[in-house]
Structure 1
Amino acid sequence: MTPFRLVTWNIREGGRGREDAIVATLAALKADVVLLQEATDPVVVEHLAHRTGMVQWGTSHRQSLGFLARVPVREVAWHRPRVSRHAFLELVPGGGGPHLFGVHLSAVHAAWTERRRVHEVRALLRTVAARASGFHVLAGDFNTLAPGEWLDVQRLPLRLRPFIWMSGGHIRWRTIQQVLDAGYADGYRVARPGETGFTFPTWQPHIRLDYVFLPSPGVATLTACEVVSSDTAARGSDHFPLVAEFAAEAG
């Protein structure tokens, strides 16, 4: 079956001024669909679509999530539960491919923001349960650590360290565990066990914030998942993009 390639990328504050690096990175990846976070500038998203040969693109007013698609999509919608800072993006690619849900959870490492992310993920999972039928993927910037992964507070910017101290120096990372408990597999960990997978920040990568999740029964369809840590990608954003490839067409 025809492989399906998905890219998820936080392009940082709309991406304006960094379009050349973003275009060069995406052109090399040849994705069928790109899920964008911080895609707040429709002019930039349209520009990216035209320069990368994508036939459809979209953003939602004052929302973070946007997309680029190589073929017309069959369905696209933004869902914003009351507890969520950003809307979730739902997208069904035309011509086959998994039912996609783009994610951008609340930022900042602190106990109270982790609690908010837990509520956001619960709302996301409720939305997915109501909307998805069959194979699907959750992908994006979850802004949190997976269970067992370590946050080096000394490597955080000085402006962010007080949030950790105000949390008592300890954060219980529960958001990703909640996704795993719901029956999803961490695509990067399936494809590249033992590797760090750091996606942020590009100038000194030491945290994995970006994820691709798929239902555990469908892991056999995942043929690749990797962080694109090129110099060109580093010029495009403070996050590295994450690319996943699926062997089976699923709708």
Structure 2
Amino acid sequence: MRLLTWNIRTGGGDRLPAITEVLRQERPDLVALQELRGFDQARLGRLAAELGLQGHLARSVFGQPVAVMARRITRRTSVTWRLHHAAAALTFGDLTLVSTHLNPFAPERRRREATWLAPRFHRASRLALLAGDLNGLDPHTDHTAAISSLAPRYRRRHLAPDGTVDTRGLAAFERGGLADLWLRAGVGDGRSVPTTGCGGAEFGPMRLDYVLGNPAVAERVREVRVLRGGATENASDHYPLLAELDL
């Protein structure tokens, strides 16, 4: 089973054909999308239908919608509070997939969001996946070079009160039972921002996009990799992340 997660940057705009091209080419069974500005359920449904999938959109009070897609959905859940953006979840059979997008500006708010989301979903089904733009850095990597390349106003987004690199958001997911699947099966360069065509000053070379899973899923991950080249270079400021799992 193939899972693709992607922040498509403010709804895609005139880049949406390129985004759709990548999705068609990769033919994922599961999709998690973030930053769906301008999308409603009908528009998401049309995109999902082009891919042979069903879709569920979660609106956001403060930020932008997020969505999940799968070949079959038996239950849908939206979380539109306690989060800067939102979370969209679907369940079919023994699997629950959550797409979410955490606060881009404040490390402490990301920590609170992760602390709240992890226990809510890691036991939602026997197999639980959470994917998306988590806007945080993992606690197992030296991020000094990536942080030092940023202007001070962007560097603050990744610093703890004592000035050290803040990794509490991803650490909170780990404590909540959701493992970073890249650490188990990552292949190649895992940095998901910035792209060559749409990158911005707010990014250093970082891994901000993740696929997390509970222990039952973590045992079944085969490969996780960032998709680069071709349309991905100009379709968004984030590269898509693809995970292959034995589900």
Question: Which letter maps to 2:220?
Answer: T
Quote the residue 2:107 is aligned against: 114
Percent of aligned positions with the same letter in both sequences? 29
C-alpha offsets along residues 110-165 of structure 1, whole Å, 9 cap, x if unaligned?
xxx11111100111123215x60311111111000001330523433676246668
Deviation, 1:207, is 0.2
When residues 41 and 244 of structure 1 are mapped into structure 2, their CA distance, relative to the original with a 3 A threshold, is same
Deviation, 1:60, is 3.3
> Which whole-Å CA distance do the structure 2 matches of 1:239 and 1:118 have between them?
22
* TM-score normalised per structure 2: 0.83
C-alpha offsets along residues 18-44 of structure 1, whole Å, 9 cap, x if unaligned?
012101111111111211000122266
Q: Give 5+ residue unaligned stretches, structure 1.
A: none
Residue 160 of structure 2 corresponds to residue 189 of structure 1: no
Quote the residue 1:49 is aligned against: 48
When residues 86 and 223 of structure 1 are mapped into structure 2, their CA distance, relative to the original with a 3 A threshold, is same
Name the SS for the 1:78 alignment partner: strand
* Higher mean C-alpha deviation, range 38-47 or range 205-214: 38-47
Quote the residue 1:64 is aligned against: 65
Quote the residue 1:240 is aligned against: 239
**1:40–1:61 Cα contact (<8 Å) kept:** no
**1:201–1:239 Cα contact (<8 Å) kept:** yes
> Which whole-Å CA distance do the structure 2 matches of 1:181 and 1:246 have between them?
22
Q: Give 5+ residue unaligned stretches, structure 2.
A: none
> Which whole-Å CA distance do the structure 2 matches of 1:121 and 1:15 have between them?
26
When residues 139 and 164 of structure 1 are mapped into structure 2, their CA distance, relative to the original with a 3 A threshold, is closer
Quote the residue 1:78 is aligned against: 78
Superposed counterparts of 1:1-251, under 5 Å: 4-42=1-39, 45-50=44-49, 52-62=50-60, 63-69=64-70, 71-81=71-81, 83-93=82-92, 96=93, 98-108=95-105, 113-128=106-121, 132-149=124-141, 150-151=143-144, 152-156=146-150, 160-161=154-155, 169-192=163-186, 195-203=188-196, 206-248=205-247
Name the SS for the 1:42 alignment partner: coil
Deviant stretches of 4+, over 6 Å: none
Deviation, 1:189, is 1.4
> Which whole-Å CA distance do the structure 1 matches of 2:236 and 2:211 have between them?
19
When residues 114 and 36 of structure 1 are mapped into structure 2, their CA distance, relative to the original with a 3 A threshold, is same
Name the SS for the 1:66 alignment partner: strand
**2:57–2:88 Cα contact (<8 Å) kept:** no
What is the root-mean-square deviation in Å for CA atoms of aligned residues?
2.6
C-alpha offsets along residues 76-135 of structure 1, whole Å, 9 cap, x if unaligned?
121134x32122111114xx5721111210003xxxx11111100111123215x60311
> Which whole-Å CA distance do the structure 1 matches of 2:73 and 2:134 have between them?
24
C-alpha offsets along residues 207-251 of structure 1, whole Å, 9 cap, x if unaligned?
000111112343221122111112311211000111112212xxx
* TM-score normalised per structure 1: 0.82
**2:44–2:56 Cα contact (<8 Å) kept:** yes
> Which whole-Å CA distance do the structure 2 matches of 1:154 and 1:125 have between them?
30
Q: Which has the higher contact order (CA 8 A, sep 6+)?
A: 1
Question: Which letter maps to 1:27?
Answer: R
- The alignment of Structure 1 onto Structure 2 pairs a total of residues equal to 234
> Which whole-Å CA distance do the structure 2 matches of 1:36 and 1:162 have between them?
26
